[in-house]
């Protein structure tokens, strides 16, 4: 599979060209801004387009991605969730919702501490669902899920004092390594992944 981001953008571009005649003014303006990479303007127009046509899948795709590119991860999650409700077979929606959830989980905000556990586990589920729907082990999805397992394990390790808690962290770390090793079977010389495996193994050693 080609890089998910490139195929995602190509698919959207084709969709836009096919449906251009049927687009509302808001959708047209939002599409134009989106194609130029002006995601702030795109959000303004696409929110209006969604308000007029909440079932428009193309609008939701662009809106979710625009929110994501603007760093508005909470609204990105909302848009992708609405897209998934209408098109549960869209693996890219699960992928980007997972990335948005992982970004929130890793955000340095003390107010999020009580919710990080949920965001990490939900991100992992989204990446797993994206891979299930795509039907193959995509390197980009594997790496993001491996990072999610790693980050979740590190988060839980801060409070891990009992053996059971430490074992739960090690399970997460081992899942992370498993994903990274799958990547190396496809790209043996991927140095960043080799470094990630070494880092995760060091985390496991620190818990023993």
Asked which of 51, 79, 112 is the last residue of a domain, the reply is 112
Tell me if 169 is assigned to some domain: yes
Query: pLDDT over 70 for what percent of the chain?
Result: 87
- Bin 3: left if φ > 0, else alpha if -120 < ψ < 50, else beta: beta
Same domain membership, residue 156 and residue 99: no
Which residues of the chain, if any, have pLDDT below 50? 1-2, 14, 17-18, 20-21
Q: Residue 203 sits in a domain of what CATH number?
A: 1.20.58
Same domain membership, residue 162 and residue 83: no
Tell me if 66 is assigned to some domain: yes
Same domain membership, residue 155 and residue 94: no
Domain that holds residue 42: 1-112
**pLDDT given at position 10:** 52
pLDDT, one tens digit per residue, over 140-170 is: 999 999 999 999 999 999 888 899 999 999 9
Tell me if 61 is assigned to some domain: yes
What letters, b where the CB count within 10 A reaches 16 and e where it falls short, cover 132-159? eebeeebbbbbbbbbbbbbbbbbbbbee
**Total Cβ atoms within 10 A of residue 204:** 18
Tell me if 118 is assigned to some domain: no
Same domain membership, residue 96 and residue 18: yes
Same domain membership, residue 39 and residue 101: yes
Same domain membership, residue 87 and residue 44: yes
Mean pLDDT for the chain?
Answer: 89
Same domain membership, residue 183 and residue 141: yes
Same domain membership, residue 8 and residue 99: yes
Evaluate the CA torsion angle 174, 179, 185, 189 in order and state its sign.
negative
Same domain membership, residue 154 and residue 102: no
Same domain membership, residue 204 and residue 146: yes
Tell me if 128 is assigned to some domain: no
Spatial distance between the Cα atoms of 10 and 77, rounded to a whole number of angstroms: 22
Domain count, the chain: 2
Tell me if 127 is assigned to some domain: no
Tell me if 46 is assigned to some domain: yes
Same domain membership, residue 61 and residue 16: yes
Asked which of 112, 129, 164 is the last residue of a domain, the reply is 112
Q: Residue 80 sits in a domain of what CATH number?
A: 1.25.40.10
Same domain membership, residue 153 and residue 69: no
Tell me if 172 is assigned to some domain: yes
């Amino acid at each position: 599979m080609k890089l998910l981001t490139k195929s995602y953008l190509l698919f959207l571009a084709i969709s836009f060209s096919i449906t251009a005649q049927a687009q509302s003014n808001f959708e047209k303006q939002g599409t134009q801004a989106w194609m130029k990479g002006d995601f702030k303007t795109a959000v303004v127009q696409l929110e209006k387009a969604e308000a007029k046509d909440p079932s428009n899948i193309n609008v939701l795709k662009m809106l979710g991605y625009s929110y994501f590119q603007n760093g508005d991860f909470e609204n990105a999650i909302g848009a992708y969730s609405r897209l998934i409700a209408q098109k549960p077979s869209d693996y890219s929606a699960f992928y980007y919702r997972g990335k948005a959830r992982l970004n929130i989980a890793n955000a340095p905000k003390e107010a999020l501490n009580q919710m990080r556990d949920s965001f990490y586990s939900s991100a992992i589920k989204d990446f797993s669902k994206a891979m299930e729907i795509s039907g193959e082990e995509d390197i980009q999805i594997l790496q993001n899920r491996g990072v999610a397992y790693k980050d979740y394990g590190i988060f839980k390790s801060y409070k891990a004092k009992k053996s059971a808690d430490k074992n739960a962290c090690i399970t997460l770390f081992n899942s992370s390594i498993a994903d990274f090793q799958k990547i190396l079977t496809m790209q043996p010389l991927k140095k960043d992944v080799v470094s990630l495996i070494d880092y995760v193994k060091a985390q496991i050693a620190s818990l023993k």
